Amino acid sequence: MIGCGGSKYLSTNATKITLTMDGAPLEGANISLVPIAEGDLAYGTTDADGVCIIQTLQGKAQAGTTLGDYAVTVRKSIGKANMTVDELVPAIYMDPEKTPLKAKIVSGKNTFSFDIDSKAK
């Protein structure tokens, strides 16, 4: 439990991200929100419409994340028969130090839309 007599979950703020690549929904992409200063690591996976409901490890399922500024990373890979992996998202979006995608989580509901470029360097 977190704190004395309190909830066993973090206090979180609903967070929804819609992700497209070159204008088309990107299904099955793993999205992470990496705290820039304060906050809790959060994550989610996009559905067929490119929509992802974010959650933290310590929060309720799909309940969002804590307040703060975040670097947003995206990863989508496909495993091949020869045990190798093809990354479908450019490396810049996978690195929290380099990604241009940012999110500021505030009290209440948070909604973000990102369109990533398949040819980004």
According to the model, what pLDDT value does residue 7 have?
A: 59
The whole-angstrom separation of Cα 100 and Cα 29 is 17
Domain assignment of residue 2, yes or no? no
The whole-angstrom separation of Cα 89 and Cα 103 is 19
Q: Which range marks the domain in which residue 89 is found?
A: 15-108
Domain assignment of residue 77, yes or no? yes
Domain assignment of residue 6, yes or no? no
Domain assignment of residue 10, yes or no? no
Q: If residue 95 lies in a helix (H) or strand (E), which one and from where to where? A: none
Domain assignment of residue 61, yes or no? yes
Structural domains counted in the chain: 1
According to the model, what pLDDT value does residue 4 have?
A: 47
Strand partners, 115: 20
Q: Which residue has the tokens 């929100």?
A: 33
Domain assignment of residue 87, yes or no? yes
Per-position DSSP letters for 8-38, written without gaps between them: SS---B-EEEEEEETTEE-TT-EEEEEESSS
Q: Each residue's pLDDT tens digit in the chain (121 positions)?
A: 344 445 567 788 899 999 999 999 999 999 999 999 988 999 999 999 999 999 998 877 788 899 999 999 999 988 777 777 789 999 999 999 999 999 999 999 999 999 999 999 8
According to the model, what pLDDT value does residue 1 have?
A: 39
Question: Which of 29, 17, 10 is closest to 101 using CA atoms?
Answer: 17
Domain assignment of residue 114, yes or no? no
Q: What's CA 61's distance to the chain center, in Å?
A: 14
According to the model, what pLDDT value does residue 75 have?
A: 96
According to the model, what pLDDT value does residue 108 have?
A: 93
Strand partners, 79: 85
